[in-house]
């Protein structure tokens, strides 16, 4: 008996990486950039995307909420292969995420 995917083909990781980068560049970065933040794809493997958060995003108390309720939900909407998103903050960031 032949296995069926019911019309849904799995895409390779390189294509998914490119799509994640495009979504981050076009839909996410313009919003976080207004607050001095930077988000970039660090890695994608086995359905897990690691997002590097720097600038004002690194150390911001809202970065976890932005990552999981904003970025992760947006990426999952457009990329069905995505299982989860992990955030990695920039340990060398010198940007103060809080306004003075």
The per-residue pLDDT for range 81-93, each reduced to its tens digit, is 999 999 998 777 6
**Domain boundaries, position 26:** 13-89
Structural domain includes residue 2: no
CATH number of 47's domain? 3.30.300.130
Report yes or no: 55 and 39 within 8 Å, Cβ to Cβ: no
d(CA 34, CA 64) in angstroms, rounded, equals 18
Secondary structure (3-state) at 85: strand
Cβ burial of 74 (10 Å; 0-12, 13-18, 19+) is middle
Structural domain includes residue 99: no
| Whole-structure pTM value | 0.80
Structural domain includes residue 69: yes
Structural domain includes residue 1: no
Report yes or no: 84 and 48 within 8 Å, Cβ to Cβ: yes
* Structural domains counted in the chain: 1
Residue 59: pLDDT band (50, 70, 90) is confident
Structural domain includes residue 53: yes
Residue 68: pLDDT band (50, 70, 90) is confident
Structural domain includes residue 5: no
Structural domain includes residue 33: yes
Structural domain includes residue 7: no
Secondary structure (3-state) at 56: coil
């Amino acid at each position: 008996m032949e296995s069926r995917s019911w019309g849904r083909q799995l895409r390779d990781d390189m294509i998914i990486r490119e799509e994640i980068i495009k979504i981050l560049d076009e839909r996410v970065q313009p919003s976080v950039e207004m607050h001095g933040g930077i988000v970039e794809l660090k890695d994608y493997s086995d359905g897990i995307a690691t997002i590097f958060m720097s600038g004002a995003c690194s150390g911001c108390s809202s970065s976890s909420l932005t990552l999981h309720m904003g970025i992760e939900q947006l990426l999952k909407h457009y990329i069905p292969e995505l299982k989860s998103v992990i955030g990695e903050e920039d340990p060398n960031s010198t940007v103060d995420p809080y306004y003075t």
